[in-house]
A = this chain, B = another copy of it.
């Protein structure tokens, strides 16, 4: 039985953790989900390391929604570096799912984008844990999460 961690934030304007859990459950079984919520994206790295060490997580979905300001981009950068560092130290994957508020034109589009990207990354997480060979089959396919795929450079 694998353990998948799901960590999201109260700062986000969409319940990304809930969306991730629903998506994971629709993809298959053989895993248990542990969820945590922290205030903001800078709190994600420590929360992830705690899930790895205290709950034995095998992979974590780290979900966040940086705001529109220049400063929010810096926070996202800092959070990303921290998430990468935790993954390196634990030698276990963290799938970062960040949706910037500025990517959407209005709240409705933001809600849609956040859910869709979360769902598509939940599938990535599932494949990484249970079917890594299917990712090799998709190498170089120009896949995108939340938007239309770019596709391979030579169709």
Inter-chain contact A153/B14, CB cutoff 8 Å:
yes
Inter-chain contact B91/A139, CB cutoff 8 Å:
no
Please encode chain A, from 94 to 117, with 1 for each CB lying within 8 Å of some chain B CB and 0 for all others. 111000100000011011001000
Pick the 7 closest A-B CB pairs, nearest first. A15-B140, A13-B142, A107-B153, A46-B87, A82-B84, A13-B153, A111-B153
Please encode chain A, from 7 to 27, with 1 for each CB lying within 8 Å of some chain B CB and 0 for all others. 011111111111000000000
Q: How far is the CA of A43 from the CA of B94 in the complex (A)?
A: 8
Asked if A132 is an interface residue, CB under 8 A from chain B, the answer is yes
Please encode chain A, from 75 to 87, with 1 for each CB lying within 8 Å of some chain B CB and 0 for all others. 1011111101111
Contact residues, A116-155 vs B (CB, 8 A): 121, 124, 128, 132, 135-136, 138-145, 150-154
- The size of the chain A interface, using a CB distance under 8 A, is 72
Inter-chain contact B50/A13, CB cutoff 8 Å:
no
Inter-chain contact A88/B87, CB cutoff 8 Å:
no
Inter-chain contact B12/A139, CB cutoff 8 Å:
yes
Asked if A33 is an interface residue, CB under 8 A from chain B, the answer is no
Which B residues are in CB contact (< 8 Å) with A87?
A: 45-46, 82
Asked if A2 is an interface residue, CB under 8 A from chain B, the answer is no
Which B residues are in CB contact (< 8 Å) with A111?
A: 153-154
Which B residues are in CB contact (< 8 Å) with A53?
A: 91
